[in-house]
Amino acid sequence: MDTPALVIEKRKLDANIQKMADIARTKKVHLRPHTKTHKNPKIAKLQLEAGAAGITVAKVAEAEVMAEHGIDDIFIAYPLVSEIKIQKAIDLSRKIRLITAFDSLEGIQKLSQSAETAGVVLEVRMEIDSGLRRTGVLYDEAVELARKAKELPGIKLTGIYTFRGPILDGKPTLDIEEAGRQEGQLMADLAERLRAEGVPITDVSVGSTSTSASAAEVEGITEIRPGTYVFYDRMQEKYHCCLHEECAAAIHVTVVSKPSDSLLIVDGGSKTFATDVQPGQSPIFLEGFGEIIGHPEMLLERLTEEHGMVAVHGETNVQIGDVLQVIPNHICSTVNLHNDVFLKNEDGTLEKQAVLGRGKVQ
Amino acid sequence: MDTPALVIEKRKLDANIQKMADIARTKKVHLRPHTKTHKNPKIAKLQLEAGAAGITVAKVAEAEVMAEHGIDDIFIAYPLVSEIKIQKAIDLSRKIRLITAFDSLEGIQKLSQSAETAGVVLEVRMEIDSGLRRTGVLYDEAVELARKAKELPGIKLTGIYTFRGPILDGKPTLDIEEAGRQEGQLMADLAERLRAEGVPITDVSVGSTSTSASAAEVEGITEIRPGTYVFYDRMQEKYHCCLHEECAAAIHVTVVSKPSDSLLIVDGGSKTFATDVQPGQSPIFLEGFGEIIGHPEMLLERLTEEHGMVAVHGETNVQIGDVLQVIPNHICSTVNLHNDVFLKNEDGTLEKQAVLGRGKVQ
């Protein structure tokens, strides 16, 4: 196998899939994994076989790829506001169960108009901002928006959803259990208020690998949408969402140069390792751009596009031509950089799989 | 056109290609543009038609894509040390003029052995570390390495090259002219020393969009390898390598949510805008992850994977559904995130082009 290459250990992948399926089963919620992490219909099918009720995607183009490969229950957890995307979603909704999303009056009006014109009824969920400050209707404005949405033709408002991650009282936190409970409680309470207003909410969906398990314990939560758990990564390990040995994906890189005893250069840079989760950021303070397995004396300190600069503290017998394995800081954005990944079976054989959903940004 | 989409203005692209070709012609050096920026054989051909002598790539897999599309003079400016890559390079060298690289004794010995076994002679250049501290033999060790390389079979050492960028006396600088002159002088001096030792260096190649023009003025420099100039970006503008209106590539994004008067959410995040050039870094101190054209009151302040959070300082009449155009901080790594780009002709028509070299990390 040439390098750089993203290698996934099948045994760990299977165990991670099973673990989250068991959590959902035990806590009696649906599991609808976010496939942004792997972007791979084959892995999505493993998740479905283990008990997932459907999948989540962020983009219409990702939904199209997944549907083309036989997946028939998809939630696009992203507000659709442009005509092109809405038309594509309508087309897709004629073939599979497709759930779309909105977080504004403009958004739901457009969905409604286009659906009515097309003669379909779109199943929709309302996104709630539960503290991340990105998309999602503000919590206090949700009842008013839902009341208006309920009256519109061409849509059927069945649920609410949020994505929050490890945030507690509006601030990043390492206390993911309490963060999850707060997320769950906010959403369960809101669902009750909406029902009291005559909006028949059946699906109450919460997100993220870090908070799913504890959010699912809150009475009234019906669905979790974790994504990263399928592989885990260095960030999740720092959040104590996984053990080190559960990290299933690593980048294999080759040492191409050794300018001095304290510096090695490897053949992966910022076009191989995602840079969205930077070193030194609160609250997890990762060191470097990835963990070099088995080499605590090494730090992947600096990246240019095609080079990784590894600082060596102390002695090493690593030489030019040797291969190092690196657990990336953030696996979702890292997978997105790769055209292919390699599934490594227990017998050591490698299976090359195209990342069919990568680059499907629209 | 759906969003997010990377749109390149053909008129500006053509002008940028012509400008660098004119610089090379005037300064009597070869131009061998680094195609890492666009990863597109069609744009490489425009560069060749304007007078480029060949192209540069970072990866064997990129060279293969370019050769498949009819480009027959390629320099892989990256030390090849693994057997798989060396064999692929040897195969390619039978079809086109391929120049490979080394920066260590281990590297050149492997190239030599494999080439001799295969019965070919590989044209090679030695990479010099002129201050960036990544690959490249240390300046003071270059003569010794070249002397050993010269004696090996299967290879023909014809040149030296470096990549440095805006560094002066070992530190990041905004004085790109002086940085370029220093880079050029270091390389020209080294070439003379090598010739005095009996190593017949003919190609003395320097890199980077920011330093090429001034490095090319140094007597003895024979080739420049700029890449980013083809589109330019926000970083190059800050380095005064280009005017604002020369930036040829922008990401078009749609406003999908407007949680408050001071916050807009657009449909491009860290999977659409590269994050390798972060805001606030010395010496250029960019604000945010891209410049929103025509909206100085807006700042692309924060990115999650599929969301861009735009802070609005003051009033705006931008609404949900509106499209914004953003010049990215670093265009090379940004293009690498996109499966396609759209060339916009002067008449407004759009031509979709696959980024054939993207993800070719091996």
- Predicted local distance difference test score (pLDDT) of residue A131: 86
What are the distances in angstroms from CA B88 to CA A25, B81, B99, B111, B329? 50, 12, 13, 12, 34
Answer whether A257 sits within 8 Å of B320, measured CB to CB.
no
CA atoms within 13 A on the CB side of B241: 32
SS3 call for B279: coil
CA distance A203 to chain B (A): 22
Answer whether A135 sits within 8 Å of B305, measured CB to CB.
no
Alpha helices in A224-360 (DSSP H): 234-238, 331-335
Give the count of beta carbons closer than 10 Å to the beta carbon of residue A338: 20
Structure tokens at B243: 């005017």
Cα three-residue angle B290-B65-B79, rounded to 5 degrees: 80
- N residues, chain B: 362
Nearest CA in chain A to B341: A359
Q: Which of A62, A258, A271 to probe the B interface (max B CBs under 10 A)?
A: A271
Give the count of beta carbons closer than 10 Å to the beta carbon of residue B312: 19
Answer whether A306 sits within 8 Å of B103, measured CB to CB.
no
- Predicted local distance difference test score (pLDDT) of residue A169: 87
CA distance B243 to chain A (A): 24
* Integer Cα distance of B292 and B244 in angstroms: 12
Answer whether B104 sits within 8 Å of A138, measured CB to CB.
no
CA distance A244 to chain B (A): 24
- Predicted local distance difference test score (pLDDT) of residue A207: 86
- Predicted local distance difference test score (pLDDT) of residue A295: 97
CA distance A351 to chain B (A): 17
What is the full DSSP assignment across A236-271?
A: HHHTTSS-GGG--EEEEEEEEEEEETTEEEES--TT
Average pLDDT, whole number, for chain B?
97
Answer whether A135 sits within 8 Å of B272, measured CB to CB.
no
- Predicted local distance difference test score (pLDDT) of residue A190: 98
Examine the predicted complex and report whether its ipTM is higher than 0.85.
yes
Answer whether A321 sits within 8 Å of B361, measured CB to CB.
no
Among candidates B5, B274, B305 on the partner chain, residue whose Cβ is nearest the Cβ of A332 = B305
Task: Tally A–B CB contacts below 8 A.
Answer: 168
CA distance B167 to chain A (A): 14
Among candidates A78, A129, A306 on the partner chain, residue whose Cβ is nearest the Cβ of B59 = A306
Answer whether A59 sits within 8 Å of B306, measured CB to CB.
yes
Sort residue B173 into left (φ over 0), alpha (ψ -120 to 50) or beta: beta
Among candidates A5, A257, A319 on the partner chain, residue whose Cβ is nearest the Cβ of B135 = A257
* Integer Cα distance of B59 and B80 in angstroms: 9
B82 CB neighbours in chain A (<8 A) are: 2-3, 254, 321
* Integer Cα distance of A328 and A235 in angstroms: 8
Answer whether A136 sits within 8 Å of B257, measured CB to CB.
yes
Per-residue pLDDT 10s for chain A (362 aa) are 999 999 999 999 999 999 999 999 999 999 999 999 999 999 999 999 999 999 999 999 999 999 999 999 999 999 999 999 999 999 999 999 999 999 999 999 999 999 999 999 999 999 999 888 999 999 999 999 999 999 999 999 999 999 988 888 888 899 999 999 999 999 999 999 999 999 999 999 998 999 999 999 999 999 999 999 999 999 999 999 999 999 999 999 999 999 999 999 999 999 999 999 999 999 999 999 999 999 999 999 999 999 999 999 999 999 999 999 999 999 999 999 999 999 999 999 999 999 999 999 99
Q: Are B4 and B269 in contact (CB under 8 A)?
A: no
Low-confidence residues of chain B: pLDDT under 50: none
A2 CB neighbours in chain B (<8 A) are: 82, 84-85, 362
A103 CB neighbours in chain B (<8 A) are: 257
B209 CB neighbours in chain A (<8 A) are: none
Going by the DSSP 8-state scheme, the letter that residue B128 receives in this structure is E
Answer whether A2 sits within 8 Å of B362, measured CB to CB.
yes
Among candidates A104, A254, A336 on the partner chain, residue whose Cβ is nearest the Cβ of B82 = A254
Answer whether B333 sits within 8 Å of A107, measured CB to CB.
no
The domains found in chain B, sorted by start residue, are 13-228 (3.20.20.10), 244-354 (2.40.37.20)
CA distance B26 to chain A (A): 30
Going by the DSSP 8-state scheme, the letter that residue B4 receives in this structure is S
Helix axes A60-68, A83-93, angle to 10 degrees: 30
Nearest CA in chain B to A140: B259
B321 CB neighbours in chain A (<8 A) are: 81-82, 106, 110
SS3 call for B309: strand
Answer whether B82 sits within 8 Å of A263, measured CB to CB.
no
CA distance A340 to chain B (A): 9
CA distance A254 to chain B (A): 8
Nearest CA in chain A to B87: A2
B103, amino acid identity: D
A136 CB neighbours in chain B (<8 A) are: 257, 259
In this structure, the strands spanning A5-9 and A340-344 are parallel
Alpha-carbon A204 to chain mean position: 18
Cα three-residue angle B55-A267-B147, rounded to 5 degrees: 70
- Predicted local distance difference test score (pLDDT) of residue B169: 87
